[in-house]
Structure 1
């Protein structure tokens, strides 16, 4: 499929290929979509919203040419030929009518062109024709609602659910979602499309013979071939060159590659789908060089932006600060955009090793970066007695530089009860590497562990303590009910290390966020639980529930309206549902799914069990990213394959023994147990509860 489409496949285009029957042998869609639903682009006209996967009509009077958007990249104007770009462009939001974008159109997607279509394409491709080098260049248009132009999946879903809704009638999706009692809303369809495209993006990452970068896939052989070329050696030399004075340099790949290609033997620059494919190859080769430590000595190289100019890479001389040291180099964190807002120096300077060691000796608070991406920061902080007495919370200077300038709001929750929010909303001031003027609750132990999260676009810090499963009685201090750092506790109280059941505490390992989707962030789990207990709607058995949008607002404030952050919260809640920490149910009147927290009372356990184990073949969740084997309902016209029936029978015998009912119920098929994104074929027994393993046929 990827090779048939010019060697480049976006996840949105993969959805089109499956839904609208693209035939790789014929190199065209088998059925012709209704062109009245296409986005129209006129010569010299203003660009409409054109996410990847959009079907377009290029019109010139009565003549027109069809195509599909193969790639969309930022195209900031103030970039040098060698790729140099100002830090402020790297990771900056796509501002409507202020930023520029490059939309690459594939005009071969509907099969061989007729003579008149070939002539028309020639008119478009000539200098000044509107599609020079196969690209539409123009301002970023206003998108739908809260969706950013950077969010290609969200824009594509809104496009198909809105102006191109009639295209979906060519396939089964509206029928699958429809029911006799309710009308399918645009929001339901958009959510379904987004989920389908994200699933395809995951499948692409594990497909044999493919390499993926962001939402784009390339044949692995082509990517390897580029990594051994002279062009890549030039790209690596340019991208690994830092700015003078230990300042970071930002290199945009498209203009850099374009200059190199123009200077080569072909001299045509980057053109159309092939140009976009070359940009993906360059990113993949730089990623391999980074992870394989094939960089010049003393250089830190990392990707900082996936959207602008096909990728912006950041080079700096070592050492780097604590935030960058903990951050995976292939996580695009948009550091350049936050650096540019700092009027002091515009850079994140590395910390002084001697200062750090002296602080450790006197029992300073310990700060660990748990997760960071271009939308979210999560820290773990063990608060020292000195900082408790001074009303201070240390976050490190580098972390504070990633947040908007000015005062912040600390939302502090300590006590584990929805009715015990002492000091929940506090206005705090920055001072060096900390925020201060905090009114700490009384009688909290030195070394208290806090999980602190912040949306990078907002001013709210959310800090929550972690309750111990078994409180400790400490002679000379009293009962300690929250997790704490034992060394800081002893330094702050002068007491011996408390003996008890507290487990040695370790922060979550930093999460590698290389996927094109927004992954779950395990460190947010107890923050989500506390937000549900605090702000959730009351349900059965004193449970608390919120949908993803309201939960995001409860955590980070109502003014943070980021689709990317919303999906991080939703995906984390979905993983918590797999683990049994929450339950998930459809929203009212077709609204978004609702997540529910249940207290540990017998009444709540019974109500939760009824909500969670309604299906006959459901089983307890055991693994964070494990999808249990399950029956799935089929559309009315489909029947399960013979293999699905045989696999289902084997599964039932494996779980319940030889007397199990092995016949699939009518209208259903069998889905293997598997890890998310890995496909079927994993071990059978991952889902089996321990009490059943001894009774199963092969236990």
Structure 2
């Protein structure tokens, strides 16, 4: 399997030389997705194009100004409909082009950092597909002499309305919301390009004309999960190489040379140093108090979108065309960021005028900057201004004004972990009532890791007492109507489990004083987070449980998941495997990932978000069995590598007086940077695909095939096989008479032989 860091030093050096030549040769900043295209499809840096390359331009989707279409990512190959011949091109940049953007860069506060689909501070539905107005900047020269080679042709297409005044395509892009993962509109440009290549762009990815198509890099019989993991690793190799280039500066996922930046700053023209510095000072002055009759009136925060603001500068519009548009926008963002870092106080983040300037939205209008006069406000009211991660304060503040503040839940004594300012979610893994009738109680409950290891399962109070869910939780009274009997030895309880499509297994277990079934033996294929559907007939001493197979099996962070599960529990309890890399840096990466997953704030899809400043106390809680404490330098290096590899991302958040972080940010709270773990989910094809059976049992009976045991690499995710998988590998090693070592190699887990629906 292809993975970051697996190449020879000579190959990595050759890749960096090629990427450096690519960034120097392209007429526009190079996005990670565009860099991947160049490596994968063989962009000729001497000829400056794919001319004569492996791409079939007849298969590219066609796009025209004003189209309503399925969203396209940066890196997508397209045909621009010009009214005559199709013009092949590569999308090299895109940004939000909302109708509310003003011609001079003014933008309503609610739009800055707003989620996809928001139509106002009180108009947002996150359950529907989303249509976004976007500006697509394309490079027609990527396939030979195009628009940039002929200014007359560019002007002609603009006059005819084939492209807009900036030589771009402004379209309405439809993003779908489906499945359990994050919606398409919430993905960053690189992640969305990966999804595109695995779906609509798959034929292009698998083209046999490519220098080295992905199928040839994978072992025989590779699954769709293997394909996605291999593709993701290839992109991460390119991303890391791009970030390591000397003489290169990054803004987000875009790379450009410092020489190009120096040339702009040496230019005395409409978009040179003086113009950009003037724009930076103008953004800061926009929030300065208005002085009238000796009284200073404080303004509301002011938001400025740099794309329209640059176009409004004198004589600049003619330069903001084609690939010159993203170059100017990205350079302006860097100039403004450097201005803030140079002029602002290191402790408060304020400019000498008492104004705080910070990036608030990276995508809309080329980048939205927020300016607010803070003056002598308290330090807790000061947000970090010099961070390249957007704060998203505009949307958060407008939402705060629309809805009352949620009540703060006080932690119960003893619930919080030592050194952490908030307790774990008290309802995490608890039973959820499905049905309660006079004769039967049904509920749903995920397995926690400690329950798997300890062989027990807590029962709801209604089961232990037999008196219904309305009774106050606590030690159950022994009235004999539930499973907890009157004083005396507890008789056996029959636990009937239906799992893995097999006949029910029956165990006789005991119930202890706290209402837990103890002495359970869980099947080896159960895992932390697997969902149990449970039922109890009142008056009986039998508890029935079953698991449910997923219609679409999936791979989560390299681990095969075939049963319904609780995403939040899996995030919390799945971070228990040992690190595959036993070097100091490898152990530290594992410790950081474990700390974020165990102590980060959980959301409904299983993301865990930990304030970066709380990483140190969180690490102390997961280092109990570590051979030695990592240094601060090792922790910083591990965070940088995890961010570069995409295993962690950064999100803006805020922190209340109780120390609990919040995302999105809340008005009046101190800004914090959140390290975010997001489960990487890859879905397989549905069970019984292509079969005509009516039920799950028919699919299992009629459409199954044998899958031999195999090793799966998970080291690139910072994981190691569990002790149970190591034991199973040793067992099957002896059973099948395999040759070699009975120990799993570092970084690999074991997938046992099994039957799978075709």
Give the CA RMSD over aligned residues: 5.8
Structure 1, unmatched stretches of 5+, are 349-362, 369-378, 393-410, 426-437, 443-448, 464-481, 485-501, 524-563, 572-583, 622-699
Partner of 2:275: 231
> Of 353, 364, 371, which residue of structure 2 is paired with 1:315?
371
Would you say the 8 A contact 2:720–2:746 is kept in 1? no
Structure 2, unmatched stretches of 5+, are 1-21, 118-128, 267-272, 290-297, 345-349, 407-412, 428-445, 462-471, 476-513, 515-595, 611-619, 623-627, 652-673, 682-709, 735-739, 749-758
CA positional deviation for 1:199? 2.6
> Of 191, 207, 211, which residue of structure 2 is paired with 1:154?
191
With over 3 angstroms needed to count, the CA separation of the structure-2 counterparts of 1:184 and 1:418, relative to structure 1, is closer
Say yes or no: does 1:305 pair with 2:361. yes
Question: 3-state SS of the aligned residue for 1:332?
Answer: coil
Would you say the 8 A contact 2:91–2:137 is kept in 1? yes
Q: Deviations over 1:524-583 (max 9, x none)?
A: xxxxxxxxxxxxxxxxxxxxxxxxxxxxxxxxxxxxxxxx99974459xxxxxxxxxxxx
Would you say the 8 A contact 1:14–1:200 is kept in 2? yes
Say yes or no: does 1:257 pair with 2:310. yes
With over 3 angstroms needed to count, the CA separation of the structure-2 counterparts of 1:461 and 1:65, relative to structure 1, is closer
Give the whole-Å Cα distance in 2 for the aligned partners of 1:119 and 1:522.
44
With over 3 angstroms needed to count, the CA separation of the structure-2 counterparts of 1:143 and 1:224, relative to structure 1, is farther
Report the count of equivalent residues.
463
Give the whole-Å Cα distance in 1 for the aligned partners of 2:242 and 2:597.
38
Partner of 1:108: 141
Give the whole-Å Cα distance in 1 for the aligned partners of 2:597 and 2:51.
57
With over 3 angstroms needed to count, the CA separation of the structure-2 counterparts of 1:451 and 1:293, relative to structure 1, is farther
Say yes or no: does 1:173 pair with 2:224. no
Partner of 2:71: 49
Say yes or no: does 1:197 pair with 2:235. yes
Say yes or no: does 1:214 pair with 2:252. yes
Say yes or no: does 1:598 pair with 2:642. no
Partner of 1:4: 25
Give the whole-Å Cα distance in 2 for the aligned partners of 1:415 and 1:246.
54
Would you say the 8 A contact 1:65–1:120 is kept in 2? no
With over 3 angstroms needed to count, the CA separation of the structure-2 counterparts of 1:337 and 1:412, relative to structure 1, is farther
Would you say the 8 A contact 1:585–1:594 is kept in 2? no
With over 3 angstroms needed to count, the CA separation of the structure-2 counterparts of 1:104 and 1:457, relative to structure 1, is farther
Would you say the 8 A contact 2:719–2:747 is kept in 1? no
Give the whole-Å Cα distance in 1 for the aligned partners of 2:255 and 2:680.
25
Would you say the 8 A contact 2:112–2:393 is kept in 1? yes
List aligned pairs for 1:601-616, cutoff 5 A.
none
Give the whole-Å Cα distance in 2 for the aligned partners of 1:462 and 1:333.
15
Give the whole-Å Cα distance in 1 for the aligned partners of 2:731 and 2:392.
44
Question: 3-state SS of the aligned residue for 1:77?
Answer: coil
Larger RCO: 1 or 2 (CA < 8 Å, sep 6+): 2
Give the whole-Å Cα distance in 2 for the aligned partners of 1:272 and 1:208.
27
Say yes or no: does 1:339 pair with 2:339. no
CA positional deviation for 1:113? 4.3
Partner of 2:326: 276
With over 3 angstroms needed to count, the CA separation of the structure-2 counterparts of 1:238 and 1:26, relative to structure 1, is same
CA positional deviation for 1:276? 0.5
Between 130-139 and 206-215, report the one with greater CA deviation.
130-139
> Of 88, 109, 120, which residue of structure 2 is paired with 1:66?
88
> Of 692, 712, 720, which residue of structure 2 is paired with 1:586?
712
Would you say the 8 A contact 2:82–2:162 is kept in 1? no
Give the whole-Å Cα distance in 1 for the aligned partners of 2:605 and 2:162.
43
Give the whole-Å Cα distance in 1 for the aligned partners of 2:741 and 2:88.
49
Partner of 1:296: 351
Would you say the 8 A contact 2:97–2:135 is kept in 1? yes
Instruction: Compute the TM-score of the two structures, normalised by the length of structure 2.
Output: 0.49
Question: 3-state SS of the aligned residue for 2:312?
Answer: helix
Give the whole-Å Cα distance in 2 for the aligned partners of 1:17 and 1:511.
28
Question: 3-state SS of the aligned residue for 1:343?
Answer: helix
List aligned pairs for 1:508-657, cutoff 5 A.
518-520=646-648, 568-570=678-680, 586=712, 598=722
Would you say the 8 A contact 1:12–1:52 is kept in 2? yes
CA positional deviation for 1:163? 3.0
CA positional deviation for 1:3? 3.0
Say yes or no: does 1:454 pair with 2:601. yes
Give the whole-Å Cα distance in 1 for the aligned partners of 2:26 and 2:283.
29
List aligned pairs for 1:653-664, cutoff 5 A.
none
Partner of 1:27: 48
Give the whole-Å Cα distance in 1 for the aligned partners of 2:742 and 2:46.
42
Give the whole-Å Cα distance in 1 for the aligned partners of 2:147 and 2:109.
46
Partner of 1:625: none
With over 3 angstroms needed to count, the CA separation of the structure-2 counterparts of 1:605 and 1:23, relative to structure 1, is closer
CA positional deviation for 1:232? 1.7
Would you say the 8 A contact 1:381–1:452 is kept in 2? no
Would you say the 8 A contact 1:85–1:250 is kept in 2? yes
Give the whole-Å Cα distance in 1 for the aligned partners of 2:361 and 2:198.
28
Q: Deviations over 1:46-97 (max 9, x none)?
A: 3442211111111245522111111011112212344232232222233355
Would you say the 8 A contact 1:91–1:333 is kept in 2? yes
With over 3 angstroms needed to count, the CA separation of the structure-2 counterparts of 1:166 and 1:239, relative to structure 1, is same
Give the whole-Å Cα distance in 2 for the aligned partners of 1:567 and 1:200.
21
Q: Which has the larger radius of gyration?
A: 2
Would you say the 8 A contact 1:147–1:154 is kept in 2? no
Would you say the 8 A contact 2:148–2:154 is kept in 1? no
Q: Deviations over 1:500-529 (max 9, x none)?
A: xx99999x9896899676453799xxxxxx
